[in-house]
Structure 1
């Protein structure tokens, strides 16, 4: 066994872990034990983990034995990964979206993405805390808070640095080295937002690249699952397992001709050369000095790598008010369908029952109210209603033809550059991909205009049109390799 076992997993990349497993330097059982020890020692003030898989060690033992008998299944064989608590797993873990109403709910089947990970040999180590109902509960709810799990804090400064949401626990757990990688979900910024604030890599795929079957839904047209990892390469490895067509999710049928069995082939340090990248300055307005400096430094890096910056790109949709009835309708329809299929022992089986349950348990459930839930319940949830159809058409037209696609075509650029999650809303309505990579740190310690401490990490985000993941992965990797901004948070002597 290695002399410094905990140091073995700090910032360890998936390929390195896999090579060590193949050499016999370490076993998957030992890996699981190391991660469990680290979670036990350091997650207290962070609160990223909602629960751990009680069968993780046994699963690791089975995978170790399988490796000895028949060899490895691939790059994720025996690798511990954690999942956001709105991703179904049919095992001894619960799936609750952070709600006390579903605290004892066991999903009837694995989500498609969970099943893909299991088939690839990954060990589902645990469920991560999150903003309750993926921030669909109440607008004033603090990012990373759930009634079931409490508040997730940023490992780079618990209580002092904004953690981001709603995949808060997934990003914080990866940043703190509690797992090799994580899955998050995004409706509008929920992967790229916490990834940026926790100095990790997050990929929000094109809607339809990754199945949503078995995700607790928020928006039929915007939801997607995606990887969160410490490096672009690790995120690409996980995405390679997740991407695929699923007959139960019609959106994935659009991925025909766009799927790639291995997204790591697009990792290219020279990917920035000759690429034109647009900077929509509208989305940078109001930034504090420190994050503005981070964006300017990223622009200089891109230019030094051979990329051409097309500055002050404008889009006709800038400043419009999105039609929020779309998500409200979809949330009611999707949540009613999801809850109706749960075990009879679960106390709620519709959105109306959930609202009533929260009212009956207000002291625990309604710290921030439930205006998001009641607004959705006030709709019909019928996705043929005129107000819904018109809203969906408006959002799609403005985000695509008058948004991202307009900018790409009008300015002849290949991709767009944003600071952190500032471009997430337009990409969300379009259903287009984003990738966030560590972009630097703000060290002024002042309160930002958004009301949180800026003394922490920021992400740089690349955006493109539908199914442009190969391009975005290359750009992010080129930027990452040139900057190497990420460093682990100091949780104790192990990291020092």
Structure 2
């Protein structure tokens, strides 16, 4: 089985209390897909508007809820939001009181955010990974990431749909579909796929259904939907953001990260999400390495930087290659020194990445269920498989659960085959992969197209991923940020920046400088399909 068939990972909502008036705020404009300047704006702009008394957190929340009602549940029916937080308006109102009293928690104070529905919240919302087996199951407490965002003053207004079990259920899955949430649609062409598995987060932020969203990635699940939906996606170094309370695939590669409309918002959000978590041992390595990242937001962030153009990740599409070549010229204009390189040994972990993910999935899932959902009707992988078989008409109308069955059959984490596969992955993705090429060419980062354009959603043949730049950084556990780079027939294309461990600030500086010089993002207009002549 080829890894690209397995991991291109791409590897309902009730009314909100107190928001009924807001749902009628601007229905005609929202239904027409009109861009609301304040809702399209970023953290700093919305914060300034609140500081000046031009809006409030409550008003922001209510306006986003109205937009969700008009665009996600009606109109183009994006189906990006799987559940709304019934306490969102009350939380925003309390944060407005804090602001009035002179208490500000930071730049995210009062800012609305959506969480992917595999991130636990100890509130009235479910945490289900899109599975009917966990529908209605409330986590016992917040994931560390959710806890950090609340402490920073963010208002969690809801959960986003995803590829069920983070796209780790079937060899023929359709990204953006879950048994609980149905199919999420791409805002740039409704018959196209948003990519997975953070599909809802990508579509929601593209459509301005919230200021910020959190996605999770094992291999491509932040950067691929971000590229396909024309937004910024940031997968951080493994260990910078805690994995506690996130329904897992594999602890050796899983991480949460920001999905935003700008690099500045990603930087501010990442700062709020980080921190050493006593419940997640890998975060100990991040002590002293975090940053507020705001200082990296400099328009000269590319000047003097040596960047390796990863030519072995070109060639998937002549149209995308042509766009990226033009963007490389912008990097040079901004002072970057470009060097053509090849990331070595990327073929050495094709099969072993699959082995590691399958081996870790079963025990990691059982640990999550025991710690955060002990009252759930399923306790382990075997229970999930049995549930799906019993409820096949609802859970498996389009594709099966081959990955779950394969994971159930794998040996424990003390097995020699698993330990050798993990060591192989780290060797060829890190020291003889990204580290090697960056050391030999004295590079600050690598760049390449993030991946292909959004494909037609296809329940017969499944996903149609093209070439992707996600795996080297995903397997290595290194940071990766994608930034909007242009369009092919109206479908977004992303440009990726990848660096060594803990190089988030450097990547943010380069990505920000590129973004400010290029300004390629434009809001979607929700067409039914692609206009090839346009």
Q: TM-score range by the shorter chain?
A: over 0.9
Q: How does 1:294-373 map onto structure 2 within 5 Å?
A: 294-318=323-347, 321-323=350-352, 324-341=354-371, 343=373, 345-366=375-396, 367-373=398-404
Which residue, out of 268, 280, 291, partners 2:310?
Answer: 280
8 Å CA contact 1:432, 1:464 repeated in 2: yes
Query: 1:319 offset after TM fit, Å?
Result: 6.4
8 Å CA contact 2:481, 2:507 repeated in 1: yes
Partner of residue 415, structure 1: 445
The whole-number CA distance in structure 2 between the counterparts of 1:463 and 1:8 is 31
Structure 2 alignment gaps of length 5 or more: 1-21, 452-467, 528-534
Give the TM-score of the pair, scaled to structure 1. Answer: 0.93
Tell me if 1:393 matches 2:423.
Answer: yes
The whole-number CA distance in structure 1 between the counterparts of 2:409 and 2:259 is 34
8 Å CA contact 1:220, 1:330 repeated in 2: yes
8 Å CA contact 2:275, 2:287 repeated in 1: no
Query: 1:297 offset after TM fit, Å?
Result: 1.3
Query: 1:123 offset after TM fit, Å?
Result: 0.5
SS across alignment from 1:290 = helix
Partner of residue 450, structure 1: none
Flag as ranges the 4+ runs of structure 1 deviating above 6 A: 1-6
Which residue, out of 282, 290, 293, partners 2:322?
Answer: 293
CA displacement 1:155-210 (0-9 Å, x = unmatched): 01111x33111101001101100000100001101000000111111110000001
Partner of residue 144, structure 1: 176
CA displacement 1:14-33 (0-9 Å, x = unmatched): 11111111111111111111
Query: 1:8 offset after TM fit, Å?
Result: 4.3
Query: 1:320 offset after TM fit, Å?
Result: 5.1
Query: 1:239 offset after TM fit, Å?
Result: 0.4
Partner of residue 522, structure 2: 487
8 Å CA contact 2:186, 2:193 repeated in 1: yes
8 Å CA contact 1:282, 1:318 repeated in 2: no
Which residue, out of 226, 232, 253, partners 2:284?
Answer: 253
Q: Give the stretch that moved more between structures: 122-131 or 264-273.
A: 264-273
The whole-number CA distance in structure 1 between the counterparts of 2:265 and 2:309 is 27
8 Å CA contact 1:275, 1:307 repeated in 2: yes
Q: How does 1:96-115 map onto structure 2 within 5 Å?
A: 96-115=128-147
Q: Matched residue pairs, number?
A: 477
Q: How does 1:411-490 map onto structure 2 within 5 Å?
A: 411-421=441-451, 422-443=468-489, 455-490=490-525
Which residue, out of 205, 214, 217, partners 2:245?
Answer: 214
Provide closer, same or farther for how the CA distance between residues 330 and 314 of structure 1 changes in structure 2, counting only shifts above 3 A: closer
The whole-number CA distance in structure 2 between the counterparts of 1:13 and 1:281 is 34
The whole-number CA distance in structure 2 between the counterparts of 1:9 and 1:314 is 41
Tell me if 1:240 matches 2:286.
Answer: no
The whole-number CA distance in structure 2 between the counterparts of 1:172 and 1:386 is 41
C-alpha RMSD over aligned residues:
1.8
The whole-number CA distance in structure 2 between the counterparts of 1:92 and 1:398 is 44
Give the TM-score of the pair, scaled to structure 2. Answer: 0.87
Q: Give the stretch that moved more between structures: 161-170 or 91-100.
A: 161-170
Structure 1 alignment gaps of length 5 or more: 444-454
Q: Give the stretch that moved more between structures: 302-311 or 4-13.
A: 4-13
Query: 1:317 offset after TM fit, Å?
Result: 3.2
8 Å CA contact 2:190, 2:526 repeated in 1: no
8 Å CA contact 1:42, 1:491 repeated in 2: no
SS across alignment from 2:114 = strand
Tell me if 1:10 matches 2:42.
Answer: no
Provide closer, same or farther for how the CA distance between residues 341 and 252 of structure 1 changes in structure 2, counting only shifts above 3 A: closer
Provide closer, same or farther for how the CA distance between residues 343 and 393 of structure 1 changes in structure 2, counting only shifts above 3 A: closer
Query: 1:345 offset after TM fit, Å?
Result: 4.6
The whole-number CA distance in structure 1 between the counterparts of 2:356 and 2:475 is 10
Tell me if 1:39 matches 2:71.
Answer: no
Partner of residue 84, structure 1: 116
